[in-house]
């Protein structure tokens, strides 16, 4: 029996909606309440959670937080009261959402379906500073993320599809990103003496994100065995992003461990490497001190440091270098970029900020942008930065923060902006794997319902 039998004879539906119906559609697209609360991130530090309500339901977002923050990032507002979470409380940011942004935004009656850019611009003006230091980028971003979710719901679309339409630069259908798993943690993310912050494995030879996750996980487990054999079980503890942090010091030691793990897992040639030294952390005047975490300094001149990278690039299958130099060391970036054979990503260098991107373009300093939503503080500005990077012919690499949450927003963002690669830590720890799990869900959904998607693979782009 089809529905016509139940409903009886067909009735003519008027071509346009009645005023009452219109009011109902409208109500489903406007914000009726905005709330915020202080919750914890993966390091156990406070962060901001925002919940907005429209006629379509409630939409949450939780904001991430970095440890090796760049100087050009938007401001993360912390209370600074040492007696409360050691100064890390975010009750001021929570207050700003509840009592400043919330009431002002609700009064504007924006249509979330179409007005994300207007909402973000309104919050920027309400804050009135370049760095979002009045209201806090953590307050503003929480609202922006939750509004993006409400917008997707108002359009009856998944979040990645809404973000794809906002970006408007992904003509080749859907591209699932190559996951860069950060499996060895150093720098500001662990207690060992390794200066370089991240050593990542990238399953570029997989056929799908699901297979890439399998490869990443298998190599990760092999790496644990290799470390245990070489350094003992106590060395298999993990750092902030879920990677191991064994007592190693030199980058070549880390890459040797990865090489053995990849070989043992049977993925030689299919799993390549990426490195994020986060070099701003150990740039001292004119030298890079790769011994900065030990009692034995090991300062390298710019020339010697470039030489170290060139040797690593020669000896190992590295496909990406992120922040190999400090955020203001333009000359070295520029010099290295002239002959760099791999993707050269600006993180602290660019801070997801189009003004920094323009400077980097002027210097010809890099060929890729790391996209971190809390560096800039709104979703529309993050998308604008991605569009700008593409207009320069660069790649876009979507990233989590070392202080993460179980919010999986960036998985949808990576597909939405067609980034072709994403980093979300190791294939371990809930706040990391939630992004990889979401990407596998998206892959399944696209395969079953939308058709036509590809895994970025060696291209690392859409």
Member of 56, 69, 113, 453 binding ligand PGA (CB under 6 A): 69
Query: Among 259, 260, 183, which residue's Cα sits nearest to residue 216?
Result: 183
Contact by Cβ (8 Å): 443, 208: yes
**Count of residues interacting with ligand PGA (CB under 6 A):** 10
Is 375 an interacting residue with respect to ligand PGA (CB under 6 A)? no
Candidates 161, 222, 276, 408: give the one binding Zn ion (CB under 5 A). Answer: 276
Q: Is 107 annotated as a binding residue?
A: no
Active-site residue, 372 included: yes
Q: Which of 222, 241, 343, 404 is catalytic?
A: 241
241 noted as active-site residue: yes
Closer to Zn ion by Cβ: residue 88 or 368: 368
**How many CB atoms within 10 Å of residue 427?**
25
Instruction: State which residue, 29 or 375, has the beta carbon closest to ligand PGA.
Output: 375
Q: Of the listed pieces 13-21, 172-180, 303-311, 398-406, which binds ligand PGA according to CB under 6 A? A: 398-406
Which residue in 293, 372, 388, 435 is the catalytic one?
372
- Name which of 180, 370, 399 is nearest 271 in CA terms: 180
Q: Is 401 in the site for ligand PGA (CB under 6 A)?
A: yes
Q: Is 202 in the site for ligand PGA (CB under 6 A)?
A: no
120 is in an annotated binding site: no
Is 423 annotated as a binding-site member?
yes
* Alpha carbon separation from 158 to 155, 209, 374, 423, 451 (Å, rounded): 9, 18, 22, 21, 15
Closest CA to 102 of 131, 139, 77: 139
If we measure between CA atoms, which residue out of 213, 208, 212, 217 comes closest to residue 175? 208
- Residue of 7, 28, 26 whose CA lies nearest to 17: 26
For 54, the 3-state DSSP assignment is strand
C-alpha atoms less than 13 angstroms from C-alpha of 277 in its C-beta half-sphere: 28
Q: Site residues for Zn ion, window 299-358 (CB under 5 A)? A: 322-323, 347
Q: In what order do the strands lie in the sheet with 287-289?
A: 283-284, 287-289, 299-300
Nearer to Zn ion, 276 or 443 (CB): 276
Could you tell me which residues are beta bridge partners of residue 275?
A: 199, 321
Subset of 326-355 contacting ligand PGA (CB under 6 A): 347
- Picking from 171, 196, 177, the residue whose alpha carbon sits closest to that of residue 186 is 196
Choose between 127 and 322: whose C-beta lies nearer to Zn ion.
Answer: 322
Nearer to ligand PGA, 150 or 382 (CB): 382
Q: Is 111 in the site for Zn ion (CB under 5 A)?
A: no
Rg (CA), the chain: 23
Tell whether residue 41 is a contact of Zn ion (CB under 5 A): no
Identify the CA nearest to 27 among candidates 56, 1, 65.
Answer: 56
CB of 285 to Zn ion, least distance (A): 22
The dihedrals phi and psi of 83, each to the nearest 5 degrees, come to -85, -5
Q: How many CB atoms lie within 10 A of CB 129?
A: 11
333 within 8 A of 363, measured Cβ to Cβ? yes
445, two tokens: 């959904």
Q: For residues 27 and 2, is the Cβ–Cβ distance under 8 A?
A: no
For residue 399, say whether it is annotated as part of any ligand binding site. yes
Stretch near ligand PGA under the rule CB under 6 A, chosen from 67-75, 124-132, 260-268, 425-433: 67-75
Which listed residue (40, 67, 100, 252) binds ligand PGA by CB under 6 A? 67
Give the total of residues touching Zn ion (CB under 5 A). Answer: 4
Residue 198 marked in a binding site: yes
By beta-carbon proximity to ligand PGA, the closer residue of 69 and 132 is 69
Is 217 a known ligand-binding residue? Answer: no
**Residue ranges in 255-284 that form contacts with ligand PGA under rule CB under 6 A:** 276, 278
Q: Which partner in ligand PGA, Zn ion, none is near 177 (CB below 5 to 8 A by kind)?
A: none
Closest CB to ligand PGA among 41 and 79?
A: 41
Counting contacts by CB under 6 A, is residue 66 touching ligand PGA?
yes
For 126, the enclosing helix (H) or strand (E) is: helix 116-127
* Region near Zn ion per CB under 5 A, out of 16-24, 244-252, 276-284, 325-333: 276-284
User: Would you say 294 is a known binding-site residue?
Assistant: no
Three-class DSSP category at 111: coil
Q: Tokens at residue 119, please?
A: 């909402």
Residues interacting with Zn ion, by CB under 5 A? 276, 322-323, 347
Residues interacting with ligand PGA, by CB under 6 A? 66-69, 276, 278, 347, 399, 401-402
Q: Which residues are annotated as a binding site for Mg(2+)?
A: 276, 322, 347
- Where in the sequence numbering do the catalytic residues fall? 241, 372
């Amino acid at each position: 029996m089809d529905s016509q039998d139940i409903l009886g004879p067909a009735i003519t539906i008027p071509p346009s909606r009645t005023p009452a119906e219109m009011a109902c559609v409208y109500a489903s697209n406007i914000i009726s309440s905005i709330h915020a609360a202080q919750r914890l991130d993966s390091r156990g530090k406070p962060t901001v959670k925002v919940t907005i309500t429209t006629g379509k339901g409630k939409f949450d977002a939780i904001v991430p937080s970095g440890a090796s923050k760049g100087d050009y990032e938007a401001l993360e507002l912390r209370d600074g009261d040492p007696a409360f979470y050691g100064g890390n409380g975010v009750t001021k940011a929570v207050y700003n959402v509840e009592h400043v942004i919330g009431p002002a935004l609700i009064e504007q009656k924006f249509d979330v379906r179409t007005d994300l850019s207007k909402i973000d611009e309104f919050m920027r003006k309400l804050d009135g500073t370049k760095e979002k230091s009045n209201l806090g980028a953590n307050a503003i971003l929480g609202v922006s993320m939750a509004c993006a979710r409400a917008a997707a719901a108002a359009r009856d679309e998944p979040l990645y599809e809404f973000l794809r339409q906002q970006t408007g630069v992904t003509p080749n259908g859907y591209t699932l990103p190559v996951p860069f798993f950060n499996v060895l943690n150093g720098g500001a993310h662990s207690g060992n003496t390794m200066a370089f912050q991240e050593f990542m494995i990238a399953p570029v030879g997989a056929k799908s994100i699901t297979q890439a996750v399998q490869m990443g996980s298998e190599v990760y487990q092999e790496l644990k065995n290799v470390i245990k054999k070489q350094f003992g079980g106590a060395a298999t503890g993990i750092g902030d992003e879920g990677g191991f942090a064994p007592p190693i010091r030199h980058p070549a030691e880390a890459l040797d461990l990865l090489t053995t793990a990849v070989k043992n897992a049977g993925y030689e040639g299919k799993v390549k490497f990426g490195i994020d030294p986060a070099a701003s952390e150990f740039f001292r005047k004119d030298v890079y001190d790769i011994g900065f975490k030990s009692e034995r300094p090991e300062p390298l001149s710019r020339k010697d440091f470039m030489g170290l990278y060139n040797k690593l690039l020669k000896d190992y299958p590295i496909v990406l270098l992120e922040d190999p130099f400090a955020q203001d060391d333009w000359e070295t970036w520029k010099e290295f970029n002239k002959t760099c054979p791999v993707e050269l990503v600006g993180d602290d260098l660019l801070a997801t900020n189009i003004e920094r991107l323009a400077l980097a373009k002027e210097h010809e300093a890099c060929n890729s942008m790391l996209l971190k939503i809390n560096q800039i503080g709104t979703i529309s500005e993050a998308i604008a930065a991605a569009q700008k990077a593409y207009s320069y012919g660069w790649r876009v690499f979507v990233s989590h923060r070392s202080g993460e949450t179980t919010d999986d927003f960036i998985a949808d963002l990576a597909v939405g902006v067609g980034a072709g690669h994403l980093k979300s830590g190791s294939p371990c720890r809930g706040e990391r794997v939630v992004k990889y799990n979401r990407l596998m869900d998206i892959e399944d959904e696209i395969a079953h319902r939308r058709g036509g998607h590809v895994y970025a693979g060696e291209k690392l782009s859409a």
